[in-house]
Structure 1
Amino acid sequence: MPGKYGSRNAQGKHRIAKDDPLAISLLKEEHHTFRTLFDEAEKARPDRLVAIARELCMRLTVHMAIEEEILYPALKPVIGGDEVNEGIVEHQSGKRIIAELEQLDGTEELFASKVHVLGEETVHHIDEEDEDLFEDARAAGEKGGIDLDALGGKLRSRQAELYNQIMATGETGKTCEAQPDEVERA
Structure 2
Amino acid sequence: MSGKYAPRNEQGKHVIAKDDPHALRVLKEEHHIFRRLFDEANHAGEDRLLQIARELCMRLSVHMTIEEEILYPALKPVIGADEVDEGIVEHQSGKRICAELEQLDGTEELFASKVHVLGEETVHHIDEEDEDLFEDAKEAHEKGKVDLDALGEELRARQAELYDQIAETGETGKTCDAVADEVERV
The TM-score by the shorter chain falls in which range? over 0.9
State the shift of 1:116 in Å.
0.1
Letter in 2 for 1:19: D
Matched, 1:124 2:124: yes
Matches of residues 50-65 of structure 1 in structure 2 within 5 Å?
50-65=50-65
TM-score relative to the length of structure 2 = 0.99
**Deviation sequence 1:132-185 (CA, Å, 0-9, x none):** 000000000010000000000000000000000000000000000100101122
Aligned to 2:42: 42
Matched, 1:80 2:80: yes
**Deviation sequence 1:82-107 (CA, Å, 0-9, x none):** 00000000000000000000000001
Matched, 1:12 2:42: no
How far, CA to CA, are the matches of 2:2 and 2:161 in structure 1?
Answer: 31
**Deviation sequence 1:55-96 (CA, Å, 0-9, x none):** 000000000000000000000010000000000000000000
How far, CA to CA, are the matches of 2:2 and 2:68 in structure 1?
Answer: 29
Aligned to 2:30: 30
State the shift of 1:33 in Å.
0.1
How far, CA to CA, are the matches of 1:108 and 1:90 in structure 2?
Answer: 25
Letter in 1 for 2:94: G
The CA RMSD over aligned residues, in Å, is 0.5
Aligned to 1:151: 151
How far, CA to CA, are the matches of 1:55 and 1:183 in structure 2?
Answer: 27
Matches of residues 77-116 of structure 1 in structure 2 within 5 Å?
77-116=77-116
Percent identity, please. 80
Give runs of ≥4 in structure 1 deviating > 3 Å: none
TM-score relative to the length of structure 1 = 0.99
State the shift of 1:2 in Å.
2.4
Give ranges in structure 2 of 5+ residues lacking alignment. Answer: none
How far, CA to CA, are the matches of 2:92 and 2:185 in structure 1?
Answer: 13
How far, CA to CA, are the matches of 2:12 and 2:92 in structure 1?
Answer: 27
State the shift of 1:50 in Å.
0.1
